[in-house]
Amino acid sequence: MHQRLFAYGTLLAGSDDPQVEAAIQRYTERIDDGWVPGRLYDLGPFPGAVPRLPQDTREAWVHGVILTVLDPRRVFRVLDPYEDCDPQRPRAGMYRREQVAVHPAQDPEQPLTCQIYWINRVPPYARLIKGGDWHRHVQTRPAYAGGGAS
């Protein structure tokens, strides 16, 4: 059975890990652009997203791409370790994978259920990305000078 993945960062930009790159290229298909309620942070070489909290006073969105995962077992067996995600212990790693309602660009009133990698803890050096778009952000930020993991 196919699943969907909402990708907002380095999974779309061409991973430096050949297994990840192959899993994305071979076993996913792009559906649409989309967005989820949340905040996006610059962690240096990659981003991290957190869901919008009920007490957030302003709207915040994370922008990315909705992918159909053609072989979920194969894809998540590669992506989970890459994202430091342990589905058996979701809060133990850097990221956790959860289901989320994603608003597709073509029909934002009909959200799609997707998997997403949320960061478990925002490091103190992380910077909020205004606008929630990693790819637009990396085109305008100064070169990365350290301070991240992965």
Write the CATH number for 108: 3.10.490.10
Per-residue pLDDT of the chain (150 residues; tens, 9 = 90+): 679 999 999 887 666 788 988 899 999 999 999 999 999 999 988 999 999 877 776 778 999 999 999 999 999 999 999 999 999 999 999 999 999 999 999 999 999 999 999 999 999 999 999 999 998 998 887 765 544 333
In a domain, 145, yes or no: no
Enter the tokens of residue 97.
């994978």
- Closest residue by Cα to residue 80 from 53, 98, 58, 101: 98
Total tally of structural domains belonging to the chain: 1
Which ranges constitute the DSSP H helices of 18-92? Answer: 18-27, 72-82
pTM to 2 decimals? 0.90
Is the CB of residue 114 less than 8 Å from the CB of residue 99? yes
**Cβ-Cβ contacts under 8 Å for 17 (sequence gap 6 or more):** 82
Look up the domain containing 45 and give its range: 3-133
